[in-house]
Structure 1
Amino acid sequence: MTTLQSWIAYSDTGESPQLPRAIYIASDSRITWGSAKHRWEAGRKVFAPREQPHLFGFCGDVILPALVIGQILSAIDSGVLFAQNASATDRHDAIFKAVKRAVDRAISTPTSNFTIHHICRESVWPQTTFRAWDIFFTASERSCTSHEIAVPLTTDLVGTYGSGKMSATQHHQKWQLSDAAGRSRALLASFCDSIKLGNDPLSGGPPQVAALYTKGPPVQIGMIVEGRRFLNGMEVDIEPYLSNIEWRDSLGQVVEPITGDPLPGARRFARPKKLQKPIET
């Protein structure tokens, strides 16, 4: 059923600390059939176009939202879903319309409830703004609704979803009581803890993460977990070209993909002493 979470990051150093520096979306990689006994640990749940500043994630039913998001990404990349100069509101409206049309084409399918979480960068630096929406499908009514989510004005969660929401919230609260409170790295680290500890049996596998920064295209972030490398839930081999993308570890450190060590000049983080290292279940 998924653990899906998003958060926004600000910086208290440098110019314009009131402006956000990044927005992230993260998910687990477990897809289940009826129970955790029947599962796949490498399912993609976080998506982004190649160039346009959008991020997507989903929870609930798997088949319909995963396929629809794929269609939407193709339409965005092809430049046929909305005008290049369309506002963030108009872009989301076009995306919502595409989801509704797709749902209307599902005839007598066993589709369950699902949520698609959509994030968009509206303006680039130095007027950086991010916006977020939820699209809900209610199976009993075969209908979709959409509403915009308020984006926090300080580093904080934007939204938490799925069967793992309670576990993710509990780990978030623990990290916010540590000396890492209020830091973006604490949000990623607490998310990774919630997945690794296995409190929600329907969430698991490696975390998958993507980001929008103050400018440029979306960034797919590789994750190093227990010495293994994953991108969008898929394990990848050690190769020289892994450095083509950004890599993080479970503490949020920006790392070198082959050694797993923090990149030169990157900030180093340590797990707060009051938070013991999680043991995988």
Structure 2
Amino acid sequence: MDLQLEGKRALVTGGSRGIGKAVARALVAEGARVAIASRTAATVEAAAAELGAVGIVVDTTDDASVQAMVATAVAELGGVDILVNSAAPPASDGPVLAASRTPDDAVRAQVETKVLGYLRCARAVAPLMTAQGWGRIVNISGLNARSSASLVGSVRNVAVAAMTSALAAELGPQGVNVTVVHPGMTATERTPRLVAERAAAQGVDEAEVERAMGATTTVGRMITGDEVAAVVTFLASPRSVAINGDAIAAGGGQPGVTYY
């Protein structure tokens, strides 16, 4: 299937590593012109050179920085047709805190970075997309939206899903579809370190840790960043017009759960 992405102009935040980088790679492969953005200049420049993308330094907690990012993307690409919001720390970073002992700052930091950061970026590109009558915004959230295991993870991801629905209702009639993708635990370049750390902490071998991670899915293994990126790339394309405001799970299936 031709995803009709040739020549489309895409901006991927958090695009220097992990799922964001995998999405940027997939979009480039489909013929899109891509700008990636992240906090660290050296990291984003290296990733941009590797991918054949434009690299932009941004702090999505700062609205002025977001506005400057979009202005640079427009200057380099000629416009923005697609925004993929992926600039947020993975849920697996740091310990999971008990809900009753979760401090304000733990929640506040995630809302500032993931929820408001995504909103700032969407707010900055929405006028460009509505003016041209077409666009796609894909928000990378996570399956903690469907779990109570982590209060912080649940709050931020549910909020992203709610924001997605509100933006989709507003922008959809103007040709801009907005969707949210919920990855689960995803295999990226950071996974070997995570596996090693868990194996050392639990006193088991790394193969056992990998089996345990795979058991959290109905396909029996972790989904890779490239596999999540394939879903995101479709949603970023003109072919996805029938999907707006919805949440798409891309975590390999949750055992024992039915969603409808």
Q: Please confirm whether the aligned pair reaches a TM-score higher than 0.5, indicating the same fold.
A: no
- TM-score w.r.t. the length of structure 2 is 0.33
Larger RCO (CA under 8 A, 6+ residues apart): 1
- TM-score w.r.t. the length of structure 1 is 0.31
> 1 or 2, which has the higher helix percentage?
2
